[in-house]
Amino acid sequence: MPEHREAAAGYHRYHIPTQPAPDIEKWPSRFKVKVRRSGLAKLLIKEVFHYRGRKDVILSRPCMYGVFSGPVGGFMPREEHCVGCLRCTTEFPEFVRIEHNPERRSLGDSYFTFNYVDQIAYEASSGLVPVRGAGYRGKFGGEGWDGMWTDMSEIVRPTRDGIHGRETISTVVDIGFTPNYLEFDPSGQPTGSTPHYLSIQLPIVLDAPQTELAAGVARIYARTAAELDTLVVLPFEYTTGLGEFGDAIVPVVRPEHARRLGQLGFTPRIIEMQGWDEALYAAITTAFPLAIVALRTGFEETDALVSYAQRGIKVFHLLADYHGRSADGGFVLDLIRGAHTAFVDAGIREEVTLLGSGGMIAAEHMPKAMICGLDAVAVDTPLLVALQARFGGECSARGASSFRLPTDLNEAWGVQRLKNLCASWRDQLLEILGAMGLREVRRLRGEMGRAMFMKTLEADAFAGLLGYTEASNG
């Protein structure tokens, strides 16, 4: 068989296998079901006659989700099954009331609110796309990410069925260096800089906390990244014994690790340097000459990024805190635009790769961050929430262990939860790409023509009108 036929026969479409991975730790239910017992008793008596004693029917009324189907029916509602459809209270307002469970709010913090926690929990346990829209009564704009909308009003959408498999939409992204142009000598051999990059199957990199990790957590992250064909950023200390996932691991090294690089036990394809350090950079390039060296640093360093690129760094992993803020209070959406623009202005944006972490906690934040200029998102706190981590108060500072993971975490469950989350986020990304008519996610980077900002639109529409002020624009 000709070579190209063999290649075609070897083609397989990228797919993330999902399967249910229910919670292992009991979380407070989303809703409190308040039932007045005398009212329920009267209903039951009536229904015993009406349904001629059919226990299964009587105990399942009035909730089709099984909240009233426990051993004593609605006298002890099974609140964990309540989805908040409000059918019961609409049908029997005189004795059923549904309320939000205040305990549920303790699962997140002021930024990663319980609504986001609910969403992640659903995505991680099912691998499905949460369905919203019909009857949505929430806000359509707001602060932060909610102040940015994406334009999906293209008339020609050749790929819009991508999620269902009609036409492939590629989510492959490249991490590394690609020169602006290639040069060749008279014999056709490249003479100048040549591309040096690796490709991953989705624009999601797993960013493990750079703090003390519970036993087995690093392994869950590493195995997930390897099975997804992406990367995981792990503290140097936690890479020991994970050589089998070496291709997927990006060790984070500090100056004190310079002499211990040989202890890694595998040759990394990419390695992250925590902050710029000339001596450490030299040590890494000597120990691993073929590895891509990335710089892990805060968005505060944006002004210096171009100079680091001139010193050899071509991949930047930029960090905001877990609430998406830089030290000077900037929000990650604006910070990404600043970093992207710095490279565009220097004429080398195509040569470098920008990864970003911090404050990107929902599927829709990923395409928005890419439109603002990231090549891929390094996801942090959502992975912890997918593993049912609970926040111990406000969780904004990186490096602080202000979350607690379940004690009975097991590897197969953890890997499936993270894969489910990534599958759900990828499907949501495909929906957006399809609606925009884009056939590959690489085209989304810096595509500001797809973005609309609430502030700008409101200013365009209302500036000059009585009562409109910039401040009222939120």
Tokens of 359: 């404050």
Q: Which helix (H) or strand (E) holds 199?
A: strand 196-200
As measured in angstroms, the least distance from the Cβ of 57 to ligand SF4 is: 15
Tokens of 352: 């470098």
Task: Answer whether 281's CB lies under 8 Å from 309's CB.
Answer: no
Tokens of 314: 């071509």
Nearer to ligand SF4 by C-beta: 66 or 246?
A: 66
Distance of alpha carbon 344 from alpha carbon 122, whole angstroms: 38
As measured in angstroms, the least distance from the Cβ of 84 to ligand SF4 is: 5
As measured in angstroms, the least distance from the Cβ of 362 to ligand SF4 is: 24
As measured in angstroms, the least distance from the Cβ of 19 to ligand SF4 is: 25
Nearer to ligand SF4 by C-beta: 31 or 236?
A: 31
Q: Which helix (H) or strand (E) holds 122?
A: helix 114-126
Nearer to ligand SF4 by C-beta: 94 or 334?
A: 94
Nearer to ligand SF4 by C-beta: 67 or 213?
A: 67
**Residue type, position 330, single letter:** G
Nearer to ligand SF4 by C-beta: 73 or 324?
A: 73
The DSSP string of 54-106 is -HHHHHH-S-TTSTT-STTGGGS--GGG-----HHHHH-TTTEEEEE-GGGGG
Q: Which helix (H) or strand (E) holds 264?
A: none
Q: Which helix (H) or strand (E) holds 173?
A: strand 173-177
As measured in angstroms, the least distance from the Cβ of 61 to ligand SF4 is: 10
Nearer to ligand SF4 by C-beta: 100 or 311?
A: 100
Backbone dihedral angles phi then psi of residue 289, each to the nearest 5 degrees: -60, -25
**Residues comprising the chain, all counted:** 474
Nearer to ligand SF4 by C-beta: 13 or 137?
A: 137
The SS3 call for residue 370 is: helix
Say which DSSP state 209 is in.
-
As measured in angstroms, the least distance from the Cβ of 64 to ligand SF4 is: 7
As measured in angstroms, the least distance from the Cβ of 39 to ligand SF4 is: 14
Residue with tokens 């990404």: 336
Nearer to ligand SF4 by C-beta: 87 or 254?
A: 87
Q: Which of 423, 414, 338, 351 is nearest to 383 (CA)?
A: 414
As measured in angstroms, the least distance from the Cβ of 236 to ligand SF4 is: 48
| Buried b or exposed e, range 334-352, using 16+ CB within 10 angstroms | ebbbbbbbbbeeeebbebb
As measured in angstroms, the least distance from the Cβ of 41 to ligand SF4 is: 17
In sequence order, what are the residues at sequence separation of 6 or more whose Cβ sits closer than 8 angstroms to the Cβ of residue 11?
A: none
As measured in angstroms, the least distance from the Cβ of 448 to ligand SF4 is: 42
Nearer to ligand SF4 by C-beta: 42 or 455?
A: 42
As measured in angstroms, the least distance from the Cβ of 98 to ligand SF4 is: 5
Nearer to ligand SF4 by C-beta: 40 or 208?
A: 40
Question: Partners of 355 in the beta sheet?
Answer: 317, 376
Q: Which of 214, 251, 248 is nearest to 231 (CA)?
A: 248
Residues that bind ligand SF4 (CB under 6 A): 33, 63, 65, 67, 82-88, 98
Nearer to ligand SF4 by C-beta: 73 or 147?
A: 73
Q: Which of 338, 379, 337 is nearest to 356 (CA)?
A: 379
Q: Which of 415, 440, 414, 443 is nearest to 14 (CA)?
A: 440
Distance of alpha carbon 48 from alpha carbon 57, whole angstroms: 9
